[in-house]
Amino acid sequence: MYYQINGGKKLFGEVTIGGAKNCLLPLLAVSTAIGGKVVLHDCPPMMDVLNMVALLKKLGAKVCYQDNVATIDAKDLAYFKVDRQLGGKLRGSVLFLGALLGRFKRATVPIRGGCAIGKRPIDIHISAFKKLGVEVEEGDFEVVCNAENAKGGNVCLPYPSVGATENLLSFAVLTKGRTILENVAIEPEVIALERFLVQAGAKIQGIGTNKLIVDGVKTLNSVEFRPIPDRIETATYMVACCMAQGKITLHNVCPQHVECLTKILKGATVDFCKNNLSLECHQKIKGFQVETAPYPRFATDMQSLALSLSTVAKGQSKVVEKVFENRFFNCGELAKMGAKITLSGDFATILGVDRLQGATVKCKDLRSGAGLVLAGLNAVGTTKVLDVFHVERGYCNLVKNLNLLGGEIVEIDD
């Protein structure tokens, strides 16, 4: 399937942002650690979520998924080995490790290896688990862990990895003794997981900070939870409006989660009222500089969106990528659309053009794909965005919503 975009249409109207993919994936994974029922509201059926649900079912969990509500009952979970074939395709499958190890003291998860945006090793997860006494056998395709002799301890992460923090926390809450985790990630999705676990009966001190003190409990109980709004989806519509121009209102947003983006939108008017955001843009955004880093600095998942925006910003911009090694492949695709980008190592210097030109371009990963859709909204003429299955991993209703706002975009089966 590809998207065909007829660019140059201004955007006006409203969109309601859904539950965050990166919040839902760890919540779905950690539901295997819970003896009772987990009810997750606002769970949009994007591909990554559907795949996590399929993995849960393969593990023996009962899952009812209707009208954006997922109810998971993992009481009688049958296996602690995550399906290699399906799990191998989904980076989020590594998040089952901590939860299964915490509850069953054994877990086997597939190793995904590198992906389009970087090598993505799990060495930080593994060495921290080992420090807590987990025996780890790393094969070519999977990692097999045994936590029979593990207990609480002190771990200081060499880098505040989001996934490693989520995995270790999911493990520590069900592990005997006190675990102190330092230099952990403080991304909003991590904090949501901390709150979810506390609601399930976990004992965690330091919520929202980079040092967590966890006292292991024997079991975790039923919990009903609503994920945080998707800050990357929010950012996508914000940038869409700046590139196509117009006026939009986004409902269900958390203003501080998109502050790193709001700060650079000089030329647009952004107003917040409780959980609603309105953005109006009738001129070019001024050239800007961003450097990706852990929260609350500029999110790497917003980098491709910012790169697209910079191609039509006024004057020069600089985009520096410090989180992943290989997140600039959109430079070539955007160049096909007339963008003026010079890439040197981990940064790109961009000279804004008046408008991009329609072309045929290809997605290589989720967020770069979204960046190309945004470029298409700005471009003169028709843009074909190929391989949009990447985009559908993490967006629900992107095409429908952009059309509702007045964009012209169709999905075409090839």
Q: Where does this chain bind ligand UD1 (CB under 6 A)?
A: 22, 25, 92, 118-125, 159, 161-164, 189, 300-301, 323-324
Q: Which residues, in sequence order, are CB contacts of 15 under 8 Å at separation 6+?
A: 237, 248, 249, 250, 251, 401, 404, 405
Give the residue nearest to ligand UD1 (CB): 163
CA distance 152 to 375: 49
State which residue, 122 or 385, has the beta carbon closest to ligand UD1: 122
For the chain, helix (H) and strand (E) counts, in that order, are 14, 23
Query: For residue 266, how many other CB atoms are within 10 A of its CB?
Result: 12
Q: How far is the CB of 347 from ligand UD1 (least distance, A)?
A: 16
Query: For residue 109, how many other CB atoms are within 10 A of its CB?
Result: 29
SS (H, E, C) 47-109: HHHHHHHHHHHHCCCEEEEECCEEEEECCCCCCCECCHHHHCCCHHHHHHHHHHHHHHCEEEE
Locate 352 and state its tokens. Answer: 């804004």
State which residue, 260 or 268, has the beta carbon closest to ligand UD1: 260
Q: How far is the CB of 201 from ligand UD1 (least distance, A)?
A: 24
Q: How far is the CB of 143 from ligand UD1 (least distance, A)?
A: 11
CB 173 within 8 A of CB 198: no
CA distance 143 to 113: 12
- Cα-flanking dihedrals φ and ψ of residue 194, to 5°? -60, -45
State which residue, 161 or 310, has the beta carbon closest to ligand UD1: 161
Q: How far is the CB of 200 from ligand UD1 (least distance, A)?
A: 20
Q: How far is the CB of 381 from ligand UD1 (least distance, A)?
A: 32
Residue 277 class from Cβ within 10 Å (0-12 exposed, 13-18 middle, 19+ buried)?
Answer: buried
Q: How far is the CB of 22 from ligand UD1 (least distance, A)?
A: 3
For the four alpha carbons of 383, 389, 395 and 399, in that order, the dihedral sign comes to: positive
Q: Which residues, in sequence order, are CB contacts of 368 under 8 Å at separation 6+?
A: 116, 304, 327, 329, 330, 333, 390
State which residue, 7 or 92, has the beta carbon closest to ligand UD1: 92
CA distance 280 to 293: 27
Q: Which residues, in sequence order, are CB contacts of 185 under 8 Å at separation 6+?
A: 160, 161, 162, 164, 165, 166, 210, 294, 295
State which residue, 5 or 107, has the beta carbon closest to ligand UD1: 107
CA distance 14 to 329: 31
Of the residues 23, 115, 242, 281, only one is catalytic, namely 115
State which residue, 167 or 249, has the beta carbon closest to ligand UD1: 167
How far does Cα 274 stand from its chain's mean position?
23
State which residue, 162 or 270, has the beta carbon closest to ligand UD1: 162
23 is catalytic: no
Q: How far is the CB of 331 from ligand UD1 (least distance, A)?
A: 18
- Cα-flanking dihedrals φ and ψ of residue 287, to 5°? -50, 150
Q: How far is the CB of 362 from ligand UD1 (least distance, A)?
A: 20
Locate 109 and state its tokens. Answer: 């998860």
State which residue, 117 or 244, has the beta carbon closest to ligand UD1: 117
Task: Kindly list the catalytic residues.
Answer: 115
